[in-house]
Amino acid sequence: MYAEAVQFIELMHHELNIAPEITTRRLSSIKSDIEATGTYHHTYEELAYGAKVAWRNSNRCIGRLFWDKLHVLDQRHLTAEEELLNAVVHHIDYATNNGKIRPTITIFPQGTVTEAPFVIANDQLIRYTDDPIAAPFKPISQTDNHILPLLYKYGGQLKTFEIPQEVILEVPLMHPEYPAFGALGLKWYAVPMISAMDLKIGGITYAAAPFNGWYMESEIASRNLIDSYRYDLLETAADTFNLDRSTTTSYWRDKALVELNYAVYHSYRAAGVSIVDHYTASRQFEKFEHNEAAAGRKVTGDWTWLIPPISPSLVHNFHKGYDNTYNNPNFYYRSKKSCPFLAQLQQHNADNQT
């Protein structure tokens, strides 16, 4: 832990031009805390900078140009269950900002997934109950609400919480040239809020640290709505666009995908909700690469995630390679083995079935 703390503090102090004597004093304090208690606690400045650098280091994110604009909400002091849940609701409301989305992270008390007093199991704060990807987090005793309840661990127990509908902004999906598409009644939530990744800063793990940016249109149109293991709506959408599905050489799949991406982008813009198209996102990432090079830093990345799932060869990152080394601070996906409370959910569901 101390070695990782040294690496982080020295990085932060170097980048922020903090005097060497201050660095020495801070590292001495951290070392004393670790020796006395087995851990240490970040100052707010360390927490905020660490969270921002974790976004900067996020290999799978194409939106890293805005890493230093992240809003960091420090909720490490909360202990009461009601306060913790209210902070989750506040994150949703604050980040949504009536559609003018703020990139935000809320950081709860530190600890690994087995140590932290409060841990969110859901992979995103907002999911639909009929989305197949949400199945592992869906209690059988679920209400009729179309929004999946928050599944969380508190006091060693697995619990659920219904997120108030009034803080969840949804966008009706329509196409300006094909009314039949709008007649499908499709909608999607405004903000993607990742909630089941571990934030690691200087040897400290924050297992409860939900964060968000805004959507790139192809995330919704080319993946969520189209993937066969998700909503699998390509054929349905193609029919609303009056495409000939009798032969593959009509290129109906390609045409439907383009129109669906346009529909999602148009719908969010019409609703006044922040969204970015894949061409703009790629140009922003290219600027991020230039900024990092100017700062003497090497950009790492997962190429398979940085290229958009529509027309990838038309953007610059398709033609580049990236080193997929993970640098800290960073966000890490949890393995199923690290989430023992999901086994509790499975047992809960089994008990309710019987």
Instruction: List alpha helices for 162-251, DSSP H.
Output: 179-182, 217-218, 234-240
Active site residue 46: no
CA distances from 59 to 54, 165, 230, 298, 331 (A): 10, 33, 24, 12, 9
26, 56, 64, 127: the catalytic one is 64
Active site residue 64: yes
DSSP structural state of residue 220: I
Active site residue 303: no
Helix-helix angle 20-37:2-15, to 10 degrees: 160
Active site residue 252: no
55, 67, 188, 214: the catalytic one is 214
Torsions phi, psi for 271 (to 5 deg)? -85, 0
Query: What gap in Å lies between CA 217 and CA 263, rounded to an integer?
Result: 9
- Quick one: which of 95, 153, 87 has its CA closest to 122? 153
Query: What gap in Å lies between CA 66 and CA 75, rounded to an integer?
Result: 23
DSSP structural state of residue 169: -
46, 217, 219, 259: the catalytic one is 219
Query: What gap in Å lies between CA 231 and CA 185, rounded to an integer?
Result: 14
- Quick one: which of 190, 220, 211 has its CA closest to 96? 190
Query: What gap in Å lies between CA 281 and CA 306, rounded to an integer?
Result: 10
26, 55, 56, 61: the catalytic one is 61
- Chain position carrying tokens 């020796």: 35
188 with 264: CB under 8 angstroms? Answer: yes
Query: What gap in Å lies between CA 263 and CA 181, rounded to an integer?
Result: 9
Residue numbers annotated as active site:
61, 64, 214, 219
